[in-house]
Structure 1
Amino acid sequence: MPDYFHGYTVVGLVAVAGVLFVAVSFGAGRLLRPTVPTPEKLLPYECGVDPVGEGWAHTQIRYYVYAFLYVIFAVDSVFLFPWATIFAADGYGGVTLVEMFVFLGFLSVGLLYAWKKGVLEWT
């Protein structure tokens, strides 16, 4: 029984050490940094451009759609690399091939849907 809990003890100690490291780092940063608030420092900062006008601005939805499509294909690539490494292993070839085609089919249907809806048009 002691060997069983040894693994959990190590994970718990690493988690506690990580939390302590973050807490000590933030505490040291708070104690060591200078705090001289000025009106310029309290302004919102956005990509090096001084704020002009009100803080609310409309953003085109197509940028979010492209970001969403990027995430879909990033997930696809994250799934493809491990699949490519295990595909050659004994006993995994046929099953993983079918799973990959099902996964790529779902992605293809989503891409076709986006294309038919005109989401991929930049106008």
Structure 2
Amino acid sequence: MASVAGGYLPILLFLGVAMALSTAFVLLPMIVGKFTGASKPYADKLAEYECGFPAFEDSRSQFDVRFYLVAILFIIFDLEAAFLFPWAVALGGIGFAGWAAMMIFLAELGLGYAYAWKKGALDWE
């Protein structure tokens, strides 16, 4: 019975340390903020902002679709970069087939970029 309970001791210690650290990471910044004056509100701190312009009165107002197009394009090119790094690391092991597959992927991505540019998705007025 003692050996079974002893097997759980490292797990309990790990959970205890994790709980203590997570509690410290939540509570310590709040305590420091109280003492340093970061919690003293004024009008500029309480003002909402989004995308660099003041918020609208109505939360259901429509945004320009270009915000979403730029966000989608950012995600696409961010994912492209996420695919390039592991490919570059494994290039020696995957050979010519892996290189050719990535070149096809980059060509498709370039075509998509050219299409978005031609349609004016990247133009900002």
* TM-score, normalising length: structure 2: 0.53
- 1:22 aligns to 2:25 (yes or no): yes
More off after superposition, 66-75 vs 100-109: 100-109
- Helix, strand or coil: the match of 1:78? helix
Query: Aligned equivalents of 1:75 and 1:28: distance in 2?
Result: 38
Paired amino acid for 1:28: I
Distance 1:15 1:117, change over 3 A: farther
The structure carrying a bigger helix percent of its residues is 2
Residue 84 of structure 1: how far off its partner (Å): 0.6
- 1:81 aligns to 2:85 (yes or no): yes
Distance 1:115 1:11, change over 3 A: farther
Deviations 1:48-94, CA, capped at 9 Å, x for gaps: x8959x534643211320221122111101210121111113xx225
Residue 43 of structure 1: how far off its partner (Å): 4.7
Q: Is the contact between residue 91 and residue 99 of structure 2 (CA under 8 Å) also seen in structure 1? A: yes
Residue 118 of structure 1: how far off its partner (Å): 2.5
- Choose the corresponding residue for 1:62, options 56, 59, 66: 66
Q: How many residues align?
A: 114
Q: Is the contact between residue 48 and residue 54 of structure 2 (CA under 8 Å) also seen in structure 1? A: yes
Instruction: Give percent identity, aligned residues only.
Output: 21
Paired amino acid for 2:121: L
* TM-score, normalising length: structure 1: 0.53
Question: Structure 2 stretches of 5 or more lacking a match?
Answer: 1-5
Distance 1:121 1:95, change over 3 A: closer
Higher relative contact order by CA 8 Å / sep ≥ 6: 1 or 2?
2
Query: Aligned equivalents of 1:84 and 1:116: distance in 2?
Result: 27
Question: Structure 1 stretches of 5 or more lacking a match?
Answer: none
